[in-house]
Amino acid sequence: MRRFNRRGPIRRLASLFALLVTFVGLGLIGYALLAEDSPVSRVVSPPEEPSAPVETTFKLTVPKMARVQDLTVRTTPVGDESALEAGAQHVEGTGYPWDAEANVYIAGHRLGYPGTDSYLVFWDLDKLQNGDEVILTDADGTRYTYSVFTSFTVGPYDYHVTQPTPGANIVSLQTCTLPDYAERFIVQAELVSVA
């Protein structure tokens, strides 16, 4: 005759209950560690960098240049000079003020077109000196203040001047030389503050 052991089903139920509690506990621990603001989720998914403005049109102010006060600067490809009629052209692909490393390259007419915002806009660019301010304001209202550190002349096909300077955020302002507009006059300024 077999003996009926009542402890067998109780032990099995106890084992299943213990297994269920273990899985629920592990699930709760996993949820706590991987929740949106947990230490683990911050390591696995670091916080996003502040977003850049969607609109890439700037306002340019150069206090030492009478015609450059809240001048519209539109971003267009290098060959598209349509932005020059509205003020000045930010050459697409040369970086933005909010980038850690950039050469924000802006071209403007020396003479321009009468009746447009391009007229004489960079006429006196060659009057800027080291230490003069150049201010860019993005579409979100953030002001990037630069300090002039150099100026020089290059040929019209010297595109190396549009390249970023390693470890720096600079703005380059370009216009044509006088009297024949044959070369390009460049002023460069380095970012000194953001407000």
Which pLDDT does position 21 carry in this prediction? 74
Alpha-carbon distance of 142 to 53, in angstroms, equals: 10
Amino acid at 105: Y
Instruction: Summarize pLDDT for 22-70 with one digit per residue, the tens.
Output: 777 776 676 666 666 665 555 555 545 445 567 789 999 999 999 999 9
Which pLDDT does position 72 carry in this prediction? 94
Residues of the chain with pLDDT under 50: 47, 49-50
Which pLDDT does position 85 carry in this prediction? 85
Which pLDDT does position 45 carry in this prediction? 54
Report residue 191 as tokens.
Answer: 């970012």
Q: Which stretches within 65-176 are classed as H helix?
A: 82-85
- Exposed / middle / buried, residue 86 (Cβ in 10 Å: 0-12, 13-18, 19+): middle
User: How far is residue 126 from each of residues 93, 95, 131, 146, 175, measured CA to CA in Å?
Assistant: 25, 24, 14, 17, 9
pTM: 0.73
SS3 labels along 6-37: CHHHHHHHHHHHHHHHHHHHHHHHHHHHHCCC
Alpha-carbon distance of 29 to 124, in angstroms, equals: 67
Fold classification of 58-194 (topology level) = Sortase; Chain: A; (2.40.260)
Q: Structural domain boundaries of the chain? A: 7-44, 58-194
Alpha-carbon distance of 63 to 58, in angstroms, equals: 16
Alpha-carbon distance of 148 to 151, in angstroms, equals: 8
Which pLDDT does position 49 carry in this prediction? 47
Helix (H, G, I), strand (E, B) or coil at 40: helix
Helix (H, G, I), strand (E, B) or coil at 149: strand
Alpha-carbon distance of 132 to 141, in angstroms, equals: 21
